[in-house]
């Protein structure tokens, strides 16, 4: 049975570097499993793997999708299945890397075949969300479907709307549909690795990264993003740093505070990733930063 390697961990945990080192040893290729890394227009804020890494090892599904278009876990799974088959057909090893827990869950557990919600209902719910705002909309969602509590980020507009429309149309919770899923792969086909870096160390890495990447180039990236006039309900609006940079451009604070605010938002995201991992990745092999080096040395495929 052909093995598929999965590598996850909180943002700034060193997943990309670890994946490249492992890929070099085992003749692997890397597939992106980060919902923000898909966007072609945003490279700096998303810290997309640089050419030093991508020139060494072939990378798939990075920077290929427009911020102006919707993208779901279903889209990702379909493209990833194709990439995995292509890599295996060429006698190489697929290494799926990223921090989006839902993507990994769709790969290992499958995706539910949820009934298609009529466009009229969808548009009505989207308009309602736009009218009352995400805070009130999320409260309504919890009343409609209490199973969404602690499973959907209150600020996640796209997933909130999706959960609302599914329950409204089908009468069944999105999470009950998820239970009726089946993966295309066998359970023991996956080698699952989670980079378990101490929170204090992650905070240091996040701060250092923000100091390095936030500046003229990232600000210009956001200015160009604004010119595209993205619809409010699209996931690309959630890219960390866009809102904060726009506040900076509106002269609400200076560059030093901009870096700090993006650092805080990134730390909050890393905490949510860790929370997801505790609930959904308990059977993954956990490695510290030191252990990753020994793991690669001893790794046998």
Tell me which residue of 74, 166, 73, 71 sits closest to 118, measured CA to CA: 166
Shared domain for 129 and 172, answered yes or no, is: yes
Q: Convert the pLDDT of each residue in 149-195 to its tens digit.
A: 999 999 999 899 999 999 999 999 999 988 877 888 998 999 999 99
148, 178, 208 — which closes off a domain? 178
Check residue 96 and give left, alpha or beta (phi > 0: left; psi -120 to 50: alpha). Answer: beta
Q: Convert the pLDDT of each residue in 240-282 to its tens digit.
A: 999 999 999 999 999 999 999 999 999 999 999 999 999 999 9
Shared domain for 77 and 161, answered yes or no, is: no
Contact yes or no for 28/221 (Cβ under 8 A):
no
Rounded CA separation 74/29 (Å): 22
Output the CA torsion 17→22→27→30 (10° steps). Answer: -50
Tell me which residue of 78, 112, 108 sits closest to 4, measured CA to CA: 108
Split into its structural domains, the chain has a count of 2
Query: Rounded to two decimals, what is the model's pTM?
Result: 0.82
Q: Which domain holds residue 150?
A: 119-178
Shared domain for 91 and 38, answered yes or no, is: yes
């Amino acid at each position: 049975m052909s093995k598929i390697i999965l590598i996850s961990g909180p943002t700034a945990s060193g997943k990309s570097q670890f994946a490249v080192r492992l890929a070099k040893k085992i003749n692997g290729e890397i597939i992106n499993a980060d919902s923000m890394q898909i966007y072609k227009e945003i490279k700096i804020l998303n810290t997309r793997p640089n050419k030093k890494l991508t020139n060494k090892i072939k990378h798939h599904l990075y920077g290929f999708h427009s911020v102006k278009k919707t993208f779901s876990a279903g889209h990702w799974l379909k493209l990833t299945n194709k990439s995995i088959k292509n890599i295996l057909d060429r006698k190489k090893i697929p290494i799926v890397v990223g921090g989006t827990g839902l993507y990994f869950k769709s790969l290992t557990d499958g995706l539910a075949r949820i009934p298609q919600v009529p466009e009229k209902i969808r548009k009505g719910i989207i308009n309602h969300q736009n009218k009352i705002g995400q805070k009130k909309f999320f409260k309504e969602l919890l009343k409609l479907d209490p199973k969404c509590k602690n499973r959907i980020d209150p600020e996640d507009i796209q997933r909130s709307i999706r959960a609302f429309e599914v329950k409204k149309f089908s009468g069944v919770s999105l999470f009950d549909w998820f239970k009726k899923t089946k993966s295309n792969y066998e359970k023991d086909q996956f080698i699952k690795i989670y980079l378990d870096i101490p929170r204090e160390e992650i905070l240091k890495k996040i701060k250092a990264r923000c100091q390095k990447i936030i500046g003229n180039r990232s600000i210009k990236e956001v200015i160009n993003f604004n010119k595209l006039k993205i619809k409010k309900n699209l996931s690309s609006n959630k890219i960390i740093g866009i809102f904060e940079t726009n506040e900076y451009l509106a002269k609400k604070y200076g560059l030093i505070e901009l870096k700090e605010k993006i650092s805080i938002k990134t730390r909050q995201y890393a905490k949510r990733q860790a929370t997801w991992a505790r609930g959904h990745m308990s059977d993954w092999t956990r490695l510290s930063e030191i252990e990753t080096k020994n793991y690669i040395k001893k790794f046998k495929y």
